[in-house]
Amino acid sequence: MAKKTKSPFPTREEILKYIEETPGRIGKRELARAFQLDAGQKILLKKELKKLGDEGLIERGHGRRFKQPGTLPSVTVLEISGIDLDGEILAKPIDWELDSPPPVIYMAPMRHGQRALASGERVLAKLELLKNVEPERVAYEARTIRRIAHAPTETLGVYIQGANGEGRVRSTNRRHKSHFSIADDSGIELAEGDLVLTEALPGKHLGMPRVKVQKKLSSVGPKSISLIAIYEHDIPNRFPQQALDSADAAKAAPLDKREDLRNIPLITIDGADARDFDDAVFAEPDPENDGGWHLIVAIADVSWYVRPDSALDVEAYKRGNSVYFPDLVVPMLPEALSNGWCSLVPDEERPCIAAHMWIDGEGNLKRHKFVRALMKSCARTTYEQIQEANDGRPNKITRPLMDGVIPPLYGAYQSLIKSREGRGVLELDLPEKKIEVDADGNITGVSVQSRFDSHKLIEEFMVLANVAAAEALEKMKQPCMYRIHGEPSREKLLSLKDFLDSVSIPFSLGQVIRPNHFNMILKRAHGTPNDHLVNQVVLRSQSQAEYSPDNIGHFGLALKKYCHFTSPIRRYSDLLVHRALVGGLGAGAGGLEEDHKGYSEMGEHLSDTERRASGAERDAVDRFSALYLSERIGSVFKGRISGVTRFGLFVELDETGADGLVPIRTLSDDYYEHNESRHMLVGKRHGKVYRLGAAVEVILMEADPITGGTTFEIIGESGTTDPAKPGGTKARNRKKSPGKKPIGKKSKGKSRASRRRAKSGK
């Protein structure tokens, strides 16, 4: 019998075209059937659909149907949002998540005898697209099928007083355009600026939505900024009492069968503001290998204190990781452990799991050994202190370490750098901004983080230990939660090539893509006006790293085997690796008792909690940056375009690294079209171009610490001319009004239906 030919996997363009052109239900099953995919390809399809969703190219509609973003299904749930100047009742879709405004939806009049719709009510409605409106607008007419009774929803907001003294709540969600009226403050004493959690009440009139105050979360002040991010992203921040009691009851671990490392001069190297120290390092020349080194990376033995299925374990898995804000940390473990028994504080005995590793002079890992041990850190140091000591400026802490501790660390680091360069690790140059706050939570500045060789030294030691852990678990035949990073998709590479062609950097797709190919691109761009731009676009072409028991390697680090072993205080994935090592070594309590059958689901969960933490941290930084800039409204800044979308430009300021939006409506000297593949807006008439990475000068128009929104306008001569559009003109200094275009003239004596037809052009 002839072997069945495997159908080719569809490109993302083919998937998007099928979703756009096919009526009816379109889910994963329908797509798999349409393209005749086998079981393995269905897994790839699931991943591709997730990527398309993450990139905003598709979204889930009713009944798990995929659809293009920005369009509404024929039947959907709406929320009544208010009335327009003509008395028309307006609505909005409840699940609209795009940054662009939703389409205008006019509600058809209710049938005779039915109660009129009230602001805040939800209805299931049938939509009809109104034709002949302006090209840039989309409008619908909606007919109510039935009202929907829905449970009260929570709103996080800031308490303010209206002009008449009436209490109101301003939502922290920038998509909520109106304030909320406080119908019941539940007897809670409130002051202007307090952060409150409210419960929505059913609307009874076409006015401001009404809420009941559930509780006050914090008084007015900068410290409420991180709380906003915690609540908006549903970050667990209160430990169950049983977990706290378990942490408080923890005691020192005995030496027992552990290897004794207390006489080894292990040191911790962390940031100056670090409070937990979960890794310590040591290096010495290897007498059996000329030019080689013996390294020890000792990691706090969290598995000794957090046993599987305990109250501590359940809560740690729920959190997935610690979350770091500029002014506070939401830890994965209670403070009694994270800052106590699991923190490698100096001159205190602490249990650890240590990786002994031997490398040659080129930094290649020759062999390794993992042990459960007891250690005593001889010093707590910072990156700055270690770097200054190595540069010949030791202080009272690092001076005793100059004899046999710090120099070997840098010697081993130099060998590891050779290995890194030999592998061709992806080397992106994208500075990280740091929010500086004082003890009271007041922001004192926004700066770009300094980066020293001491940072890179610790990174290389940790990468080596992570590789050794993955190799050890495979040799032990123990389950491993890998840290995987796939190579870029074909579609992203095609988009990258299209962009690189526009800046005259060659990039061939007829080759096996490796990280070093991207490094060659970055090297060509280095020192040119497109340097920052190319780094940004190369970063966006990469896949997202995640956790999985199925190993595909780590593309960015150019490694075939890689897991996270070095931070079990703050990452549950590392705790899983520790348990597997303890179980494989037969090193006592706290190891895996059996193979975890749910590793795939656990990997997805931990990847999700990591993304949740990143989103919360990013939102907090945006709000702190907006708070810092809020006193400089009207100031002029220099910056670079850090994002290009169809609704405007994102600009990152050179001075602080803070970023904000330049709405496309403010670019009023032309009609601008979005060229997605080349990351630019192009003027249709004059050919002016605003490109990702381009230098611009902006004026600060708005900075809102509550929502984190920052708005700029570009001033002066900015942008370049598109070569395809000769005769480009200079930017005009005068601006057109950014106000709304009239939909149609109001005509006295006409019915609402007639006025609606006049608006839509019917």
- Predicted pLDDT of residue 206: 54
Tell me the percentage of the chain whose pLDDT exceeds 90: 42
Indicate whether 158 pLDDT > 70. Answer: yes
Q: What is the pLDDT of residue 725?
A: 47
Residue 21 has pLDDT above 80, yes or no: no
| Whole-prediction pTM | 0.73
In whole numbers, what is the pLDDT of the chain averaged over residues?
83
Could you give the angle at which helices 12-21 and 39-54 cross, rounded to 10 degrees? Answer: 80
Mean pLDDT of 348-366: 97
Tracing tokens 């996270």 back to the chain, one arrives at 564
User: Going by DSSP bridges, is the β-strand pair 688-691/695-704 parallel, antiparallel, or unpaired?
Assistant: unpaired
Give the mean pLDDT of 547-567: 95
Closest CA to 409 of 488, 328, 464, 372: 464
* Residue 82, number of CB atoms within 10 A of its CB: 17
Of 1-10, 55-64, 323-332, 477-486, the range with the lowest mean pLDDT is 55-64
**φ and ψ at residue 83, rounded to 5 degrees:** -130, 155
Confidence (pLDDT) at 737: 35
Give the pLDDT of residue 598: 84
pLDDT at 525 over 50: yes
Give residue 509's pLDDT.
84
Residue 729, pLDDT score = 34
The model's confidence at residue 532, banded by pLDDT at 50, 70 and 90, is confident
d(CA 686, CA 726): 8
* pLDDT top residue among 129 and 318: 318
Query: What are 700-753's pLDDT values in tens digits?
Result: 999 988 888 899 999 865 555 554 443 333 333 333 333 333 333 333 344 343
Q: 67 CB contacts (<8 Å, ≥6 apart)?
A: 19, 26, 58, 59, 60, 61, 73
Confidence of residue 274 (pLDDT cuts 50, 70, 90): confident
Q: Are 168 and 192 in contact (CB under 8 A)?
A: no
Most confident of 51-60, 88-97, 152-161, 664-673: 664-673
pLDDT on residue 151: 45
CB proximity list for 113: less than 8 A, separation 6 or greater? none
- Structure confidence at residue 150 as a pLDDT band (50, 70, 90): low
For residue 231, CA distances in Å to 157, 170, 196, 243, 349 come to 11, 15, 11, 21, 38
Binned at pLDDT 50, 70 and 90, residue 756 comes out as: very low
Q: What are phi and psi of 421, to 5 degrees?
A: -65, -35
The answer to which of 190-199, 285-294, 593-602 has the lowest mean pLDDT is 593-602
pLDDT of residue 276: 84
pLDDT band at residue 87 under the 50/70/90 scheme: low
Residue 277 confidence (pLDDT): 92
pLDDT reading at 14 higher than 60: yes
Q: pLDDT tens, 170-204?
A: 888 766 667 888 887 777 888 888 888 888 776 55
**Domains of the chain with bracketed CATH:** 12-67 (1.10.10), 154-220 (2.40.50.140), 241-485+547-618 (no CATH), 490-542 (no CATH), 633-721 (2.40.50.140)
Give whole-number Cα distances, 280 to 255, 283, 301, 344, in Å. Answer: 18, 11, 12, 7
Question: Tell me: the pLDDT tens digits for 559-571?
Answer: 999 999 999 999 9
pLDDT at 244: 96
Q: Is residue 135's pLDDT more than 60?
A: no
Output the pLDDT for position 133: 53
Judge whether residue 318 has pLDDT over 90. Answer: yes
Is 280's pLDDT higher than 90?
yes
pLDDT of residue 388: 96
Q: Which of 130-134, 257-261, 555-559, 631-635 has the lowest mean pLDDT?
A: 130-134
pLDDT at residue 1, rounded to an integer: 46
Place of tokens 């501590």: 312
From residue 485, alpha-carbon distances to 9, 262, 543, 558, 562 in Å are 21, 37, 7, 10, 10
Query: Which comes out higher in pLDDT, residue 719 or 431?
Result: 431
Residue % of the chain over a pLDDT of 70 = 84
Asked if pLDDT for residue 144 goes beyond 50, the answer is yes
Find the helix or strand (DSSP H, E) in which 388 lies.
helix 383-390
The predicted-structure confidence for 659-705, as pLDDT tens digits, reads as follows: 899 999 899 888 898 887 778 899 988 889 998 888 899 999 999 88
Q: What pLDDT does residue 746 have?
A: 36
Neighbouring CB atoms inside 10 A of 90's CB total: 17
pLDDT, tens only, 227-258: 888 988 889 989 999 999 999 999 999 999 99
Q: Are strands 648-653 and 636-645 parallel, antiparallel or unpaired?
A: antiparallel
Helix (H, G, I), strand (E, B) or coil at 466: helix
Quickly state the pLDDT bin for 56 (edges 50, 70, 90). low
Query: For 61-193, where are the E strands, in sequence order?
Result: 66-67, 75-83, 89-93, 104-107, 122-130, 139-148, 154-161, 167-171, 180-184
pLDDT > 70? residue 128 = yes
